[in-house]
């Protein structure tokens, strides 16, 4: 399955493993790369730029395929040392970076001179256009179904993906709500050049999270998420649990961020993945969990999606066209 994206990024199948906090580590990234898709380490999962460099080196001991790094740029009182993270990426020889959140021009200025291909993940057409004007290589567009931050426009992928495709000239990756071959084929039909999957890759054997969290995702359906921070105009889709439901209720009752800070602390979310208790804190998952029914290896998952996508295109669509031709004749 060749697309502009596979050709440009040197991968075999048009599938990207999304950068996920606490999840995008060497084991998962290397397995995705070996399967012929694009794997992404998550930079800010590593506590320092030096730790990121070490994780990049560790990944290279597991795969000889190219992989990338996700760097999420969000406003903060004490922001991470983004310049140093960029230097660690460049000095380690990584030439693919997925940015998310804000996209300051200085990040591009740091990376572009080193022939780094930049994929910018955004949630609106206007942000996609802005990113293209700054010189990114590809756009990953997040529909409202996605895990994490879907933006504030509440536009689903069926509209957002083709709107983005018709609005930019660079390759577009469809993200949000995709977990199987049907999503891949639908995204390609909408004009996308690849798909991004996060929740689906969480439920693989190589994903470095507790087995009970993987089991919880398999057991859940598409309704088992909460949209928190709506009142703060910083919406995030997370797993529905005791903590996220309390956050939703408190904010609806007029609480401020300071009132819920302890509930949403990142350290608590990390413990969910480490300890296997889904109620320990806030953790991210998408509506696509309703489409996740097993926990295969990464290689099995990528091969299955690729094979079933080809079958869908060759068989089902051919049958539909054949039926139409029969009616016309």
- Give pLDDT < 50 ranges for the chain: 327, 329
Whether the CB-CB separation of 288 and 199 falls below 8 Å is answered with yes
The DSSP element (H or E) to which 225 belongs, if any, is strand 225-228
Q: What is the pTM of this model?
A: 0.95
pLDDT of residue 323: 60
Q: Tell me the sheet residues that pair with 70.
A: 42, 98
Instruction: Report residue 324 as tokens.
Output: 């139409």
pLDDT of residue 135: 96
Instruction: Report residue 167 as tokens.
Output: 């609005």
Instruction: Report residue 15 as tokens.
Output: 């599938």
What span, in angstroms and rounded, lies between the C-alpha atoms of 44 and 74? 11
Set out the domains of the chain in order of their start, with CATH numbers: 4-208 (3.20.20.70), 211-287 (no CATH)
Write phi, then psi, for 122 (nearest 5 degrees): -145, 175
Please state, as a whole number, how many other Cβ atoms lie within 10 Å of the Cβ of residue 4: 14
Cα radius of gyration (the chain): 19
Half-sphere exposure of 25 (CA within 13 A, CB side): 13
CA distances from 258 to 227, 251, 261, 279, 290 (A): 18, 11, 5, 21, 33
Instruction: Report residue 184 as tokens.
Output: 């891949």
Q: What is the DSSP string of 34-96?
A: HTTSB-EEEGGGSSSHHHHHHHHHHHHTT-SS--EEEEEE---SS---HHHHHHHHHHTT--E
pLDDT of residue 78: 85
pLDDT of residue 325: 59
């Amino acid at each position: 399955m060749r697309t502009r994206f596979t050709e440009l990024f040197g991968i075999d199948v048009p599938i990207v493993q999304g950068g996920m906090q606490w999840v995008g580590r060497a084991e998962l990234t290397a397995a995705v790369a070996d399967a012929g898709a694009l794997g992404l380490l998550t930079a800010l999962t590593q506590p320092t730029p030096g730790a990121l460099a070490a994780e990049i080196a560790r990944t290279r001991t597991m795969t000889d395929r190219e992989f990338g790094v996700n760097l999420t740029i969000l406003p903060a009182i004490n922001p991470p040392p983004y310049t140093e993270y960029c230097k660690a990426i460049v000095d380690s020889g990584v030439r693919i970076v997925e940015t998310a959140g804000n996209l300051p021009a200085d990040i591009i200025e740091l990376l572009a001179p080193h022939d780094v291909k930049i994929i910018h993940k955004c949630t609106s057409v206007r942000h996609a256009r802005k990113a293209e004007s700054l010189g990114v290589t590809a756009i990953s567009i997040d529909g409202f179904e996605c895990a994490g931050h879907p933006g504030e426009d509440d536009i689903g992928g069926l509209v957002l993906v083709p709107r983005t495709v018709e609005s930019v000239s660079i390759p577009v990756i469809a993200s949000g709500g995709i977990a199987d071959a049907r999503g891949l084929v639908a995204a390609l039909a909408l004009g996308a050049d690849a798909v991004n999957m996060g929740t689906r890759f969480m439920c693989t054997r190589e994903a470095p999270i507790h087995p009970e969290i993987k089991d919880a995702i398999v057991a859940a359906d598409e309704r088992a998420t909460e949209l928190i921070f709506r009142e703060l105009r910083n919406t995030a889709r997370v797993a529905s649990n005791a903590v996220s439901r309390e956050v939703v209720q408190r904010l609806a009752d007029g609480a401020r961020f300071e009132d819920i800070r302890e509930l949403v602390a990142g350290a608590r979310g990390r413990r969910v993945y480490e300890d296997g208790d889904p109620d320990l804190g806030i953790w991210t998952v998408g509506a696509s969990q309703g489409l996740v029914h097993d926990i295969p290896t990464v290689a099995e998952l990528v091969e299955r999606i690729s094979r079933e996508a080809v079958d869908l295109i060759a068989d089902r669509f051919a049958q539909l066209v054949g039926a139409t031709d029969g009616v016309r004749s």
